[in-house]
Amino acid sequence: MAYLPQELIAKKRDGGTLTSEEINFLVHGMTNGAVTDAQISSFAMAVFFRGMEMDERVALTLAMRDSGDVLDWSHLDGPALDKHSTGGVGDNLSLMLAPIVAACGGYVPMISGRGLGHTGGTLDKMDSIPGYTTQPDNETFRKVTEACGCAIIGQTASLAPADKRFYGIRDVTATVESIDLITASILSKKLAAGLDGLVLDVKSGSGAFMPSHEQSEALAESLVAVANGAGTKTSALLTDMNEVLGHAAGNAVEVATAVEFLTGEAQDPRVREITLALCADMLVLGGLAPEAESLAKVAEALDSGKAAEKFSEMVTQLGGPGDFVDRYQDHLPTAPIVIDVPALATGTVSAMDTRAIGNAVVALGGGRTNPADPIDHAVGLTHITDVGALISKGDPLARVLARDEATAQEAARRVTAAINLGDAPASRANVYRRLAPSAGGV
């Protein structure tokens, strides 16, 4: 049935509930150009202020998923599983998670994004590896996933094209911060990957995408409910982002810490707890292990070195160096300027403005404020102190890796301003809550 876009926009503007047929019409028009940019922005603003019912969120997600190709992994001898993070600073968990789950018998066809704003992007990190192809053709993507059990690549133009147009318009019309639209945007791309199970890592804290714990929790609940309503078994962990995850932020530096984690050379306890918790949930969703045994199984896959082998295979098959895991320091780009950021006083690290730390990396050239901005993969921060650490005056708060002295000093200034010394902070959980894939979504 044909509709007039303006009538559907008016219906939502006035607080009405759109049918799945009406939503399908709008999304089809986004894809083929029949709905104009002005109409899309008006629809987004109407949803921003009026919201959507759960059935509308599910219908919008499915319509955007089905606007392009939907991959099929039914021929595999194991479940197709994936994880999505809402973004943070120092969040390189995907690089460890994919090979760990692959080492446990799952398949992880991970379609990742680039960083924007203060959060880093998994794809930008993988681009630090010389020769690694982050945009392979679909046939190569399938072959590598089948051979290695995992492949970390970027979104192709044929996956959820309606979302690409819709998000581009939302980005310039102040309608990004809508839980209804964020939910559909995230899930349409992930569900187009043809998954049997999905685990969501929803961040909460000063470095998270959502500005408050309550909003992070609401987003997690929406994502789980809509994904399960759309037919994909999905759970979520609400995890802490009140400080940098691990001790590095940047692109090449986070790849280095991922390799060190996989080989056992160095493992941050917070990173290990959250990574293994996400992996264990993926195994449960995929039927690869009962809940009581899942954590031990993923820990064994990591500690035995099997996951490191999977990562090495994936890098090699996607064009990276065959000896990357053994000689990652020789292959990753390095920055010419290295300075430590000294503490200006003695005290306890009481809090960290994690978003400001992420913006320090952006100021170095390691992130982007515009999607077309180039990335300097070598720059970043390492040896970032922990919240709760006892610091003496002159001790390093972090180490800056920069392209030149001016940007190094600017990053050092930002780091100093972002780390507060004061009273000992209250203890925080690394995982605040788990949302199970129940029929109701939570």
pLDDT tens digit string along 150-170?
999 987 778 899 998 998 899
Give the whole-angstrom CA distance, residue 188 versus residue 209.
19
- Looking at residue 440, what is its pLDDT? 43
Pair (319, 365) in one structural domain: no
- Looking at residue 19, what is its pLDDT? 98
DSSP states along 236-267: EEEEE-SS-SSS-EESHHHHHHHHHHHHTS--
DSSP H or E stretch at residue 172? none
User: Among 156-160, 193-197, 247-251, 429-433, which is the least confidently predicted range?
Assistant: 156-160
Which amino acids are annotated catalytic?
Answer: 82-85, 122, 170, 185, 189-190
Give the domain CATH number at 216: 3.40.1030.10
**Does the pLDDT at position 113 exceed 90?**
no
- Looking at residue 38, what is its pLDDT? 96
pLDDT digit string, tens, across residues 76-94:
999 999 999 998 899 999 9
Pair (105, 212) in one structural domain: yes
Contact 96, 275 (CB under 8 A): yes
Q: What is the mean pLDDT of the chain?
A: 94
**Does the pLDDT at position 216 exceed 80?**
yes
Contact 30, 8 (CB under 8 A): no
Pair (310, 365) in one structural domain: no
> For the residues 265-272, what does the mean pLDDT come to?
97
Percent of the chain with pLDDT over 90: 88
Pair (36, 93) in one structural domain: no
Helix (H, G, I), strand (E, B) or coil at 404: coil
Pair (313, 187) in one structural domain: yes
Give the whole-angstrom CA distance, residue 260 versus residue 49.
46
Residue 19 phi/psi, 5-degree rounding, is -80, 165
- Looking at residue 227, what is its pLDDT? 96
**Does the pLDDT at position 439 exceed 70?**
no
Question: In terms of DSSP bridges, do strands 81-85 and 249-250 run parallel, antiparallel, or are they unpaired?
Answer: unpaired
pTM of the predicted protein model: 0.93
Pair (171, 99) in one structural domain: yes
- Looking at residue 438, what is its pLDDT? 67
DSSP states along 88-122: -SS--HHHHHHHHHHHTT-BEEEEE---BTTB--H
pLDDT digit string, tens, across residues 119-150:
778 999 999 999 999 999 889 999 999 999 99
Pair (235, 104) in one structural domain: yes
- Tell me which DSSP letter residue 153 carries: E
Residue 67 resides in a domain: no
Q: How many CB atoms lie within 10 A of CB 252?
A: 27
Give the domain CATH number at 371: 3.90.1170.30
Q: How far is CA 418 from CA 89, 106, 355, in A?
A: 13, 40, 9
Pair (176, 29) in one structural domain: no
User: Among 1-5, 340-344, 414-418, 438-442, which is the least confidently predicted range?
Assistant: 438-442
- Looking at residue 442, what is its pLDDT? 37
Tokens of 415: 């780091």
**Does the pLDDT at position 313 exceed 70?**
yes
Residue 180 resides in a domain: yes
The count of structural domains within the chain is 3
Residue 56 resides in a domain: no
Pair (294, 210) in one structural domain: yes
- Looking at residue 381, what is its pLDDT? 98
Cα 428 to the chain's mean position, in Å? 22
Pair (88, 136) in one structural domain: yes
Tokens of 368: 């982007």
Residue 123 resides in a domain: yes
Q: How many CB atoms lie within 10 A of CB 293?
A: 13
List of E strands, 295-391: 337-342, 347-352, 380-382, 390-391
Which residue segment(s) compose the domain that 228 sits in? 81-327+430-435
Q: Which residues pair with 153 in a beta bridge?
A: 111
Pair (152, 224) in one structural domain: yes
DSSP H or E stretch at residue 48? helix 37-50
DSSP H or E stretch at residue 212? none
Q: Which residues pair with 129 in a beta bridge?
A: none
